[in-house]
Structure 1
Amino acid sequence: MGHPEGTTENVQVKNGEDGSSSFDQHVIVMRHGDRIDNFEPLWVSKASRPWDPPLTQDGKDRAFSRGRKFRNHLPFPIHRLFVSPFLRCLQTAAEVIHGLCAVNDDDPNATSSAAITIDPSKIKVSVEYGLCEMLNDIAIRPQVVPKDLDFAFDISECEAVLPAGTIDHSVERIVKQMPQWGETASDCHARYARVIKALADKYPSENLLLVTHGEGVGSSVSSFSEETVFSADYCCYSRMSRPIFVTEDKSYTAGDFKVNILEGENGLSYFGGAYQPESA
């Protein structure tokens, strides 16, 4: 793996009796919250970008709650977040960040981020094309696909949805441009797996949260375990970890990812057949 970005300051290093040292890297892959077109069918007929629905208020609240639970219950911190350019994922990421980085979250009964102030220095955020929706008519309804197949994502407009002060402008995207329309399901699964591993390899001393689509969560499980995801709830997530070994010259080598398989606990269900996307 060589000398990738980051240092071991962010992690708990374990020192072996033989002089070796190692630590665990954690990666969470999360689905976006409730999308409006699945609850308000007439929204599509009035939308200027019908392929890019926002969240419902329930979806925003669910994402905020998930971020709060991450902050309060994960046994490790999240250092860096990568997000698909689709609006539902950007809005999910914004809400999760409010839950993760809140500095005045004093009311345990609060369900909204409306009055939450955050410390933006607690996380670094980047938009990643490689985490985008599966670009075919399995995942995107054919009647809403732009006629010129240009989904028209502008990075600066995407970043404007995210909380001020959190964007890391120095990051180079793994996938430089949006994938081509018509990619196969197998190609999409390979894309997700490649991007997940590339991001983890680039930042091995940091724990990552990747906000993506249902297919991305399913792919994260099937690519790094023998299990197959059958259903993925809104704001569900997979959890993976792997050991990182620090060599004498301070370079890193990585072990294999282990997926934390907990039936139902993270909003995932498993099945022996193919994963069925639910308008991801």
Structure 2
Amino acid sequence: MDSSYQHVFVMRHGDRLDNFEPDWAKTASRPWDPPLFQNGVVRAFRTGQRIRTQSTFPIHRIFVSPFLRCIQTAIEVVAALSAPKDLPSIDKLKLVKVGIEYGLCEMMNSVAIWPQVSPKDGKFDFDISALEAMFPEGMVDHNVEPICKEMPKWGEPVEDCRERYVKVVKALADKYPTENLLLITHGEGLDTTFSAFFKDATVHKVDYCAYVELRREVSSKDGDIVETGEYEVVLSHGQTGIRFSHDPAIIPTPV
């Protein structure tokens, strides 16, 4: 029986424009879907470089929220992951496959999306074909079936959203157990994932382009997966942009 590790990175998008240019939303056609600020573009590429240089394994697939800031983050990250040391190559880019996943989207409620910018009818429309076309030719895997077939409904309870994030992370990992994944999502998605898999930790802040690496042992026999281990959070790469503390242990008082 052969054993190896599956690695799953969960990452927040880069700096969003509306947090640096507050007046942007006043004239935007989609004020609830801001693009990246220029600093966010640079940060996304550099984060991809960091993951690439610190990892001894390749990233095979990237799944990304349909929000524009996440798509733009993914474009920069995969370029950094795929570029050889000498010159960028389109053939190298084709090594990383991309899929858009509704389940990685923002919390669909007024906690995450201001009521003054959200669609009045509660419908968030995404032209998936247009978003896919933003990636280099051959990078998008059109045969991928998303875990969530459609966007969550507006007014999604916070707890339902947190359950969604954990469910989607596990489902994608189980769907591709022999591949290493990078999931690009939103602040709450990363906060929830870190808290779910790193026990007794309280997250205080999640920076733009922060990420967490999960890994688990995967055993196979004759090419078929027969067993998967428990997820563990890898912290050996130093600061990943998540600020947290360990909850104090509760020691029972002697009777």
Normalized against structure 1, the TM-score is what? 0.83
Instruction: Tell me the C-alpha RMSD between the 2 structures.
Output: 1.8
CA contact (8 A) 1:81 1:209 kept: yes
Query: What is the CA-CA distance between 1:154 and the residue it aligns to?
Result: 1.7
1:158 maps to: 131
Shift of 1:268: 0.4
1:239–1:260 CA contact under 8 A, matched in 2: yes
Q: Distance in 1 between matches of 2:147 and 2:127?
A: 16
- Following superposition, the deviation at residue 105 of structure 1 comes to 5.0
User: Retained in 2: the 8 A contact 1:80–1:125?
Assistant: yes
Q: Structure 2 residue aligned with 1:129, among 95, 102, 122?
A: 102
Q: Where in structure 2 are the equivalents of 1:1-280 lying within 5 Å?
A: 20-103=1-84, 116-118=88-90, 119-226=92-199, 227-247=201-221, 250-261=224-235, 265-271=239-245
Q: Residues of 2 paired with 1:164 and 1:64: CA distance?
A: 19
How far apart are 1:210 and its partner, in Å? 0.2
Q: Is the 8 A contact 1:125 1:166 kept in 2?
A: yes
Q: Identify the range of structure 1 (261-270 vs 213-222) with the bigger mean alpha-carbon deviation.
A: 261-270
- Residue by residue over 1:184-211, the C-alpha shift from the partner in whole angstroms, topping out at 9 and shown as x without a partner, is 1111110000000000000000000000
Name segments (4+ residues, structure 1) moved above 3 Å.
103-106, 261-264
Q: Which residue of 1 aligns with 2:251?
A: none
Residues 156-200 of structure 1 deviation map (CA, whole Å, 9 limit, x = unaligned): 022122232200001000000000111111111100000000000
Q: Deviations for 1:223-256, whole angstroms, at most 9, x for unmatched residues? A: 2221232111010001100001114572332111
Give the structure-2-normalised TM-score.
0.91
Higher share in strand: 2
Contact 2:210–2:240 under 8 Å retained in 1: yes
1:218/1:228 contact within 8 Å kept: no
- 8 A contact 1:93–1:211 mirrored in 2: yes
CA contact under 8 A between 2:54 and 2:237: conserved in structure 1? no
Contact 1:247 1:253 in 2 (8 A): no
SS at match of 1:144: coil
For 2:113 and 2:41, locate their aligned partners in 1 and report how far apart those are by CA, in whole Å.
21
Q: Provide Cα deviations, 1:13-62, integer angstroms capped at 9, x if missing partner.
A: xxxxxxx2211000000000000000001100010000000001111011
Structure 1 unmatched ranges of 5 or more: 1-19, 107-115, 274-280
Which stretch has the larger CA shift, 216-225 or 27-36? Answer: 216-225
- Percentage identity across aligned positions? 53
CA distance in structure 2 between the partners assigned to 1:138 and 1:155 by the alignment:
25
